[in-house]
Amino acid sequence: MNSNWLNVILRKPYYIISLLGFFVFLGIAGYNAIDRKLFPDSNRPEIAVVISWPAAGAKDIASNVAVPVEKELYTLDKVRRVYSTTIDEVTVIRAEFEYQKDINSAAIDVANALSKIRSFLPSDIREPQIFKITSATPPILVIGISSDRLSLEDIRELADNTIKKDLLKVKGVANVDVFGGYKKEILVQVNKDVIDSLGLSISKILDALSTNDRDYAIGFFDLPQGRFLLKSKGKRDTIAQIRQLPITENVRIGDIATVRYGHYDNSALYYANGHPAIALAVQRSIDADVLRTIENVEKEINKLKIAYPKLKIVITDTQKDTINQSISNMFESLRDAIIMSTIVAFFFLASFRQVLVVLFTIPLVYASTIAMMYIFDIDFSVVTLTAIILALGLLLDDAVVVMENIERHYKELCKPIKQAVIDGTKEIMFADFSGTVTTMAALFPIMFVGDYPQTIFRPLVATLLIALLASYVISITTVPLLSIRFLALRAKWILKAEDIFMAISDNFNKFARKFFASLAQSAMENKSLTIFYFVILFSLFFISIKMVLPVVGQELMPAMDTGIVKINVTIDPNLSIENSETVLKKINKAIYKSGRVLRVSAAIGSEPGVLSIGSGSGIDHISITAAYVNRFARKKSIWDIERNLRKRIQQIPDIKYFTVFDYGATALSSIRGNIDVMLSSDDFKTLSTASDIIYKILSNTRGLVNVAKTWDLDKVVYKLIIDEQKAFSYNISSNEIARQIGLILKGAGVAKKSIQNSKDMTVRVWSKNDNRLFNYLSSLLIDTPKGKIPLSTIVHLEKQKEPSLITREGLEYTVDVYGFREKDAISHIMKNFDEVFKNYRLPIDVNIVQTGDIAQFKDSAKRMAKAVLWGVCLIFLTLIPMFNSLRAPLLIIFSIPLTLVGASWTLLALGYHTSMPAMMGFILLSGIIVNNAILLIEFALLGMKKGLNAKEAMLESIKIRTRPVLMTAFATTAGMLPVALGWAIGLERLAPLGAVAIGGLMIGTFLTLVFIPIVFVWIYRKSN
C-alpha cells in the first residue's frame, strides 16, 4: 500500500463507509443469530452400544457379550479405545474414536460390526441399541414431575404417553428420556400356596394370559348390504376381564391371584429438588442452539402447567442459567476492558481527539469480527468471547500505533493535517503489517496441532485471526479517515484540556525515554555493564525455568466455579433400593443446609437405554447435581461448599464411597477423575487386592480430597447348585428349574393391555411372596412331570462374592481407583502419589496405567510445544522477506524468550499453574511481543538508511518508539485484566492465558527496550 492508495481513501471515503456499514449491520444481525454455549465441545466422538440380556448375571454378560463385541469394535478405523460397564442384565460398551472421525460414520461402522457378529452372540439377548454420544447427549434441561394427588405410577404413565409427545414436538428437541422407575403395569400377583393346593402351576397361568392376548381378524364375508370384516376379540382390556379369565373349568385368575395396577421392582428412582418425582431429560438436536431450545421448552412447560394443574412441574437442571450468566459476564468484562484500555491510551496520548478515534474504531472492529464469526458459523462461548476481549489489545496495538505516528507528524513535525495522515500512516505501515502477520503466524499452527488442544483452542484462534485481519484493515483505512476529521477539531476547551493532560503525559514519556535510553546507552558504551546485564538476564531466566515453574506446577485445565456441584455415591451393593433412597434423602438435607440452592437433580440407579440421566450403574449408585447461586451472589466459593458437604456426607451410614466435585473438574467427560489409576488383569481377586492398595495410596496422597473405586469384590451372590442326577430322576431340566424360580422371584410380562395412541401396558405375572429364595427354600414347591416336589430335594445354594459391576478396557478386566482435587497442581499431586507408591508393591500380573488428567496433559503439552516451535519458525520465515535480511528476524525472535520470566512469575503470584490456557497465552504472547521489537528495529534501520550509525539510529528509535511501545503494552495489559482475573463465570478456565500474556508482555516489554537495542548495536556495529 502506498500514499496514492491513501489519497484515494481520503478523497473517496464513502467506499470505506459503505463497506464498514455492511459489516456493522451484518455484525448486529450476527450478534442476535449466533448460537451461545458455555464451552466448545471438546469430547471425542463416541458410540455407546447398550445390550440387555434378561435374567443374565454380570459375569455371563461380560464374557459372552462384552468380550466379543469389544474385539470386533477394536477393528474399526480410527477407534481410540473401547471400554464397557456391565451390571446384571445390561452391558454398555463404548467405542471412543479420534477427533477426525465423523460421528455418523462411526455409528454406521459400529452397526456393521455388530451385524457381523450377531449370530455368535447369545440368541436371547435383546436387539443392541446404538447411541451417538455427542455434545447433544447431556440434557439441556431436566424436568421433575410430582403430585400430591396422583401416584408416581400415574405420573410415569402420563409422562410416557402424553407429556413426552408434547415435548418432542418442540422446535430444537431431538429426544426426551423418561426416568425414575414406577413404570405402570397390570400386576397379577399369584398366591403360590393356593395354586400349589389346587395342583396348578404358574406356567398354566402364563399360558392362559398369553393365549388370550390377541385380537383375531378372521376374514371378510360378503352380504347384500356390503363386505364386512369378521373379528374375534381375545385381549382383556380391563382388570375385571383379566380376573374373569378361566384357568380351569372351575378356577379363574381372580381366585388365585390379586390383579391390580402397580409397578415392577424399580431399578431407578428420581428426586426433584428433594422430592420423589419422575424426570424428563430433554436433549437437543445436534445443530440446535442450546438457549433457544431451552426457551422453547420453557414455553411448553408453561402450557403443561396450565393443562395439568394437579402436577408439580419444576426444572431441576438446566444449562440456561450458567450460559446466560457467563455470556453476560463476558460482555461486561469486555466493557470493563474497553474502559480501562481507553484510560491507559488517553494517559499516553493526552488527546481527547485521538481517544475519540480509538472509541470509534473499537465497535467497528468488533462488528466486523462478529459478522465474520456469523459467516463462518463460530459460536459465542467463553472461549470465543475471551478471544474478543484479547482482540482489544491487538486492535489498540494497530490503531494506537498508526494514530500516534500520525499525531507525531502533525504536532511535532508540524505538517498539514492531510500530509501528516499520509506520511504518518505510510511510515508505520510496514511495522503495522509485520506485527499483524507475525501474530497471525504465531497463532496459525494451533489450528492444525491436532487432538484436544486444537479442538478447544481452534475457535479462539479463528476468532483472533478474524479480529487481527479486521483490526489491520481498519487501522490503515478508517484510522487515517477519522484522524483527518478529528485532529482538525480546534475547539479551545479541547485544546486547553489536552494541554493540561499533556503536561502530565509528557513528563512520564520523557522519563521513560530517558530511562530506557540511558540503560541501553550505558551498556553500549561499557562492555562490563553489558556482561552484567546479560548475567542478570540469564540468572532470571534460569531461576524462572528451573525453580519458579516447578513450584507453579502443571495441570490440564484450571478449576472453575460455575456454582454446580456433582455428587456420586456408592453404597453397599447388597442393600435394597429403599436403603439407597434413605441415603439420598439425607444427602438432600445436607445439600440444602450447605448454601443457597437453586435446584437439585438426583438419580438412583439407571434404566436400560437411557444415557442422558441416571447413575449409569445399579441401585447402589446415586448421582446428584446441585446448582447453587452464582459466585457473585454468595460469599463462599464452590470449594468451601464442597468441603462442608463432604463433612456432612461422611456422617451418613451405609455409604462406601462418595465423591464431591465441581462441574468441569475434569476437562473431558471421558476422564473419570483428576487422578485415575486404571488397573487391569484377568483375575478379579487380584484386581481387588491391587485396588485396595492403590486406594490406600491415593487416600494418603496430598492434594486429593475424595477417593473412590469403580467396584469392590463384595456383592453377595447365591449360586443355585442343582443335583443333576436327582433332577433327571424327576424328568426336569436345569433350564426349567431356573425358569420356574425366575417366575416366582421376578415374574414375567406375558400380555399387553391396549392403550390408545400409546405403547401397550404390560401385564406381569409373579408370586406375591416377597421373601428371598433362601428363606423358604425348604417349603418352595416346583412343578415336575412327576408332580410337585420341594425345591430343596434337588438344589442347594452356595454363597459367593462378585464385583458390584464389571468394567473392561483394552480387552482386559479393569478397576479404576480415582480421586478429585480442589485447585492443587496435577503434577504436584502425581509427585506426592509417587512418593507414597514407592513403598508398596502390586501383584505381578496387574498392569497399572495413569488415565486421569496427567495422561491428557502430557499429550497436549507435546502438541502445544510443537505449535510454539512451528509458530516461531513461521514468524522467522515471515520476517526474512519483509526485512530482506537474516539478522533482523533473528534479533526479533530473541525477544520471545524474554517473556518467559514475566510469565512464570505472574503465574506464581496469582496462584495459577502451567496449563493448556497458559501455553496458549505464551503462543499469543510470542506473536505480540515481537511487535515491540519490530517497531524498534524497523525505525532504527530507517535511521541507518538516513546515514546514522547503529548506536545513533537505535537511540533515536528508543526516543521515538518508547511511547507507542509502552502505550500498547499497558493498554493491552489493561484489556486482558478481566481475563487474567476471571471476571466471568467459566472464565477462570482461561485465566492463566491472560496472566501469562500480561506478565510476559510487561516484563518482556521492559527487557525488549533494554536488551534489543544492545544486541542490535552489537549485530549492526559494522554496518552503515
- Stretch 998-1004: mean pLDDT, rounded? 94
Q: Is the pLDDT of residue 527 over 70?
A: yes
Q: Any idea how long the chain is?
A: 1024
- Of the two residues 429 and 901, the one the predictor is more confident about is 901
Q: What is the pLDDT of residue 477?
A: 86
Spell out a b/e string for 448-479, using b for 16 or more CB atoms within 10 Å of the CB, else e: ebebbbbbbbbbbbbbbbbbbbbbbbbbbbbb
Residue 864 near residue 923 (C-beta atoms within 8 A): yes
Query: Which pLDDT value is given to residue 109?
Result: 96
Say if 192-215+233-255+716-802 and 507-560+852-1023 have the same CATH topology: no
pLDDT band at 641 (very low <50, low <70, confident <90, very high): very high
C-alpha cell at 260: 391390580
pLDDT in tens, 911-943: 999 999 999 999 999 988 998 899 899 889 988
**What's the CA gap between 201 and 572, in Å, rounded?**
36
The neighbour count for residue 15, using CB atoms within 10 Å, is: 12
Quote the percentage of the chain above a pLDDT of 70: 98
Contact criterion met (CB below 8 Å) for 646 and 705: yes
Mean pLDDT calculated for residue range 954-975: 90
The single-letter code of the amino acid at 37 is K
pLDDT at 237 over 80: no
Range in 43-52, 96-105, 417-426, 837-846 with the lowest mean pLDDT: 417-426
Q: Identify the pLDDT of residue 1.
A: 44
φ/ψ bin of 605: left (φ > 0), alpha (ψ from -120 to 50), beta (otherwise): left
Q: What is the rounded distance in angstroms from the CA atom of residue 794 to the CA atom of residue 782?
A: 10
Q: What is the pLDDT of residue 1023?
A: 64
Looking at residue 873, its pLDDT comes to: 94
CB 138 within 8 A of CB 611: no
Q: Which of 350, 342, 354 is nearest to 392 (CA)?
A: 342
Name the grid cell of 929.
511481543
Q: What pLDDT was estimated at residue 775? A: 57
pLDDT for 536-555, tens place per residue?
A: 999 999 999 999 999 999 99
- Find residue 92's DSSP bridge partners: 50, 85
Half-sphere exposure of 542 (CA within 13 A, CB side): 6
Summarize pLDDT for 683-726 with one digit per residue, the tens: 999 999 999 999 999 999 999 999 999 999 988 888 888 888 88
Per-residue pLDDT tens digits for 466-517: 999 998 888 888 888 888 888 777 777 777 887 888 888 888 889 999 999 9
Spatial distance between the Cα atoms of 672 and 748, rounded to a whole number of angstroms: 37
- Alpha-carbon gap, residue 381 to 36, rounded angstroms: 6
Rounded-to-integer distance, Cα 259 and Cα 242, Å = 8
d(CA 690, CA 685) in angstroms, rounded, equals 9
Q: If we measure between CA atoms, which residue out of 239, 26, 45, 274 comes closest to residue 144?
A: 274
d(CA 137, CA 121): 28
336 phi and psi angles, rounded to 5 deg = -65, -40
For range 560-580, the mean pLDDT: 93
**Maximum CA extent, the chain:** 125
pLDDT band at 778 (very low <50, low <70, confident <90, very high): low
Output the average pLDDT for the chain.
Answer: 89
Task: State the residue for C-alpha cell 431431538.
Answer: 174
**pLDDT value at position 3?**
55
Mean pLDDT of 651-676: 92
Percent of the chain topping pLDDT 90: 59
**pLDDT tens, 618-633?**
899 999 999 999 999 9
Does the pLDDT at position 667 exceed 60? yes
pLDDT higher than 60, residue 573: yes
Q: What is the mean pLDDT of residues 75-103?
A: 94
3-state secondary structure of 568: strand
pLDDT at residue number 476:
84
Distance between CA atoms of 285 and 288, rounded to whole angstroms?
5
Whether the pLDDT of residue 269 is over 70: the answer is yes
What residue spans define the domains of the chain? 1-33+350-489, 35-134, 192-215+233-255+716-802, 507-560+852-1023
- pLDDT tens per residue, range 354-386: 888 888 888 999 999 999 999 999 999 999 999
Mean pLDDT, range 812-824, rounded to an integer: 95
Asked if 284 and 293 touch (Cβ cutoff 8 Å), the reply is yes
One-letter amino acid of 950: A
Look at residue 961 and tell me whether its pLDDT is greater than 90.
no
Residue 461 grid cell? 484462534
Q: Which H, E and C letters describe 305-325, residue by residue?
A: HHHCCCCEEEEEEECHHHHHH
C-alpha cell at 971: 493498554
Q: How confident is the model at residue 773 (pLDDT cuts 50, 70, 90)?
A: very low
Cell of 182: 414406577
Q: Which range, of 117-126, 205-214, 263-272, averages the lowest pLDDT? A: 205-214
pTM, to two decimals: 0.91
For residue 269, the Cα-to-chain-centroid distance in whole angstroms is: 26
Instruction: Tell the residue number behind the cell numbers 476529521, with chain if given.
Output: 485
Which amino acid appears at position 510 of this protein?
K
Domain 507-560+852-1023 fold: Multidrug efflux transporter AcrB transmembrane fold (1.20.1640)
Mind giving me the DSSP string for 868-935?
HHHHHHHHHHHHHHHHTSSHHHHHHHTTTTTHHHHHHHHHHHHT--B-HHHHHHHHHHHHHHHHHHHH
Tell me the CATH class for 35-134: alpha beta
Considering the segment(s) 192-215+233-255+716-802 as one domain, its CATH architecture is 2-Layer Sandwich (3.30)
Pairwise CA distance, residues 682 & 713, whole Å? 14
Out of 520-529, 549-558, 815-824, 899-908, pick the least confident. 520-529
Q: Which three cell numbers stand for residue 224?
A: 347384500
Residue 1007: the pLDDT is 93
CATH 3.30.565.10 given to domain 1-33+350-489: no
CB 268 within 8 A of CB 602: no
User: Which of the four pLDDT bands, split at 50, 70 and 90, describes residue 452?
Assistant: very high
174-197 confidence digits (pLDDT tens): 999 999 989 888 888 888 888 888
The model's confidence at residue 788, banded by pLDDT at 50, 70 and 90, is: confident
Find, among 240, 255, 239, the residue nearest to 205 by Cα. 255
pLDDT band (50, 70, 90) for residue 669: confident
How far, in Å, CA of 92 to CA of 673, rounded? 20
SS (H, E, C) 237-271: CCHHHHHCCECCCCCEHHHHEEEEEEECCCCEEEE
pLDDT given at position 230: 75
